[in-house]
Amino acid sequence: MAEKPSSAEEVAEVVRAHARISAVGGRTKPALVGEGKELGLSGLTGITDYKASEYTFTARAGTTIREVEEVLKAKRQYLPFDPLFAESGATLGGTVASGACGPGRFRFGGLRDFFIGVQFVDGAGELVRSGGKVVKNAAGFDLPKFLVGSMGRFGVMTELSFKVFPAPFETVNLSVICPDHVSAVERLAEVASSRWEADALEYDPSGKTILLRLGGPGEALDQICEEIEGRWPGEVEQFKGTTGWRDLREARWAQGAFLVKVPITLSRVSRLADWVDGCAGAVRCWCSSGGNVAWLSFGRNELNAVDEVLRGHSMAGVTLRGSDPNGPWLGERRESAILGAVKKALDPGNRFPEI
């Protein structure tokens, strides 16, 4: 049997040979890996189909985001949701399984909005296809969406199809310094509902700074920037280059052992930011995608406190980095019979890690 499977059939064979098994891609989000035999997908790589005019591509699960982005860039296209950890070696499969998106998620949507088709090995060790390879498709159940954020608990993805978009002609970056979290939230809400069409809208609570990225024809961006600068005089600055955005996509601000994704809404951002301020540096926070995701970074000692705060606010989180013996889920968990029933339907032998 192949130690390093290089085809979907070989992956299926390895799955069938192990009672407990967990897929591993680029190890950029180690908390995804569960108990059992580690099934490395670094041999299952390559873009199998890409026609720029179709706005779609299909690639094997172990293909790195970096490779995909380079190929798309040559045709002036991109994955608008800014997948995380590209430079660190993240793969397509791990990206979907973790459900983690970067700043670009704000404008056109996240993984769930661009992941259109999948082939995976289910818990019976059989190959299954769902979704399709065209940008529009309503046939059959949408298992691709279901697998987004599923942490590899239902199957091992072997091939994935995505929708892509043309890259903006040009981009401009702005930072907006805010007096406090409450006014930052007001400004985030204003930008989010404005005519300006920001591509990315981030908030760094530690510096009370909003970051904005605008995309489009250069001459139009200049005029829109001018208007935004006039809206908050003296508090808006343009910054050049893509380094800042790349650093964000690698979560370089996050120095703690744990990195946790917490879905949130804009109206709750200032309360969370206040709590983080009270932690005196032990917990760091970054608010992404117009206040829809709070990323938390902290050390092991803070794990229980974070878990409790999330529960207290009926919020849930998922750990991408950092090892917790209780599994990757933090905060509130909804008990439902259907979760177990679907797990059993896709993984009847319970080969993959517990959900």
Partner 1 sequence: MIESLRALLPGDRVLTRDVHLAAYESDGLTAFRTKPRAVVLPETGEEVIKVVRWCHQHGVPFVARGSGTSLSGGSLPVEEGIVIALNRLNRILEVDPVDRVAVVEPGVINLDVSRAAEQYGLHFAPDPSSQTICTIGGNVAFNSGGAHCLKYGMTANHVLGMKAVLATGEVAEFGGRSREQVGPDFVGLFCGSEGLFGVGVEFILRLLPEAECFHTVLAGYRSLEEAGDAVAAVIDSGLLPGALEIMDALAIEAAEAAVSCGYPAGAEAVLIVELEGPVEKVAAERVKLDEILEKTHSFEKRVAADSMERMTIWKGRKSAFSAVGRLSPDFIVQDGVVPRTRLGEALRRIGEMSEETGFRVANVFHAGDGNLHPLILYDGRMEGSLEGAEALAGRILEMCVEMGGSITGEHGVGMEKRDYLPGMFSDYDIEVMKRVRAAFDPKEVANPGKMFPGSEAPSLSRSGLHPLEEAGVISRE
Asked if residue 97 lies in contact with residue 353, where contact means CB atoms within 8 angstroms, the answer is no
CB of 154 to partner 1, least distance (A): 7
Q: In this complex, which beta carbon is closest to partner 1, that of residue 220 or of residue 305?
A: 220
List all residues 6 or more positions away from 335 whose beta carbon is below 8 Å from its beta carbon.
none
Number of helices and strands (H, E) in the chain?
Answer: 12, 18
Q: 61 or 100: whose CB is closer to partner 1?
A: 100
CB-nearer residue toward partner 1: 154 or 245: 154
Shortest Å, Cβ 280 to partner 1? 27
- Quote the least distance from Cβ 189 to partner 1, whole Å: 5
| Shortest distance (Å) from residue 40 CB to partner 1 | 23
Q: Looking at beta carbons only, is 46 or 166 nearer to partner 1?
A: 166
Would you say 64 or 288 has its CB closer to partner 1?
Answer: 288
- Kindly tell me which of 169 and 239 has the beta carbon lying closer to partner 1: 169
Q: What is the dihedral sign for C-alpha 273, 275, 278, 281?
A: negative
Does the CA dihedral 162-165-167-171 come out positive or negative? Answer: negative
Q: What does each C-alpha distance from 94 to 85, 106, 156, 167 come to in angstroms?
A: 10, 21, 10, 24
Closest contact distance (angstroms) between CB of 83 and partner 1 is: 14
Closest contact distance (angstroms) between CB of 1 and partner 1 is: 22
Taking each helix axis from N to C end, the angle separating 266-278 and 181-192, rounded to the nearest 10 degrees, works out to 150
CA-CA-CA-CA dihedral for 187, 193, 195, 196, to nearest 10: 50
